[in-house]
Amino acid sequence: MITQIIAERDNTLILYMGGKVKTVPNTIYNQLKFRDFKGERISYKFNDDMHVQETFDDGIFNAFIKEETVQIRDGVSLCVSIKEHKETNSNELFDTLFKKIYFKSKKNEIMQQMLSVFGERVQTKTTDKETRYIIDDRFMVNDKGVSHYLSDKGNEWKFLCTVAQGNLGTMSITTDIGEIQLESTELTIMGKVGYLLAPNIQDNVFFHQLGGKLQDVLKAEVEFDTRVLEGMT
């Protein structure tokens, strides 16, 4: 059904649709749909690797980069990215929007890939409530970036106040659709996992939160490592 915009107001578009006059809000989505696509489903190609196709539900899109697919429900942001491409030939907004949604849908896989550099020292376990990154079976950082330590009885995770260490400004991972920047929560997780792999027992704020048995284990490990280093010199 071909639709035409017959008048445009600040807040309203007046349409001629199927022999009848209809009004819709004057939004970027409606402008694109009814001006450029005459009321049909929006379908747009950014380049050979990037395109979108609106589903039969208005404002919901299947989006593609190479062989990867996500569903975009933010019709406004998607239409803004199409408008940018039409005007400047830039696909940056679409690329950013797609990767943000892709990261959320693939977050566990991507985080496991990032943490695999630590080998078996970091294990990923998923419960009904959260994903947990367990370090040396004694520390844990959950998917919200909150640290815990295992109680001396070994049957309870207790809150541990830690601060992510190092330069957490940017970190990215290479995927099938290119580089993806980690978001703030994931940067925090990586920083805290790195710290808990080699905790500083001289940090009193950190160390005195731990149970006595865990304190003793960490002290013994540091003493052993020191003797090994001294024996190598």
Distance, in Å, from the CA atom of 212 to the CA atom of 226, rounded to the nearest integer, reads: 21
42 closest CA partner among 50, 54, 30: 54
Cα 212 to the chain's mean position, in Å?
A: 37
Report pLDDT for 168: 63
Q: Kindly report the number of other CB atoms within 10 A of residue 189's CB atom.
A: 24
**Has residue 165 got a pLDDT over 70?**
no
160 closest CA partner among 169, 170, 150: 150
143 closest CA partner among 127, 121, 157, 161: 127
How does DSSP classify residue 155? S
Q: Model confidence over 38-77: pLDDT tens digits? A: 989 999 999 999 999 999 999 999 999 999 999 999 999 9
Distance, in Å, from the CA atom of 40 to the CA atom of 2, rounded to the nearest integer, reads: 7
Distance, in Å, from the CA atom of 136 to the CA atom of 231, rounded to the nearest integer, reads: 26
pTM: 0.77
Domain range annotation of the chain:
1-40, 42-105, 119-232
**Helix, strand, or coil here: 84?**
helix
Report pLDDT for 138: 96
Report pLDDT for 211: 94
> Do residues 75 and 61 make contact, with C-beta atoms less than 8 angstroms apart?
yes
Q: Model confidence over 166-213: pLDDT tens digits? A: 556 678 888 889 888 888 899 999 999 999 999 999 999 999 999 999
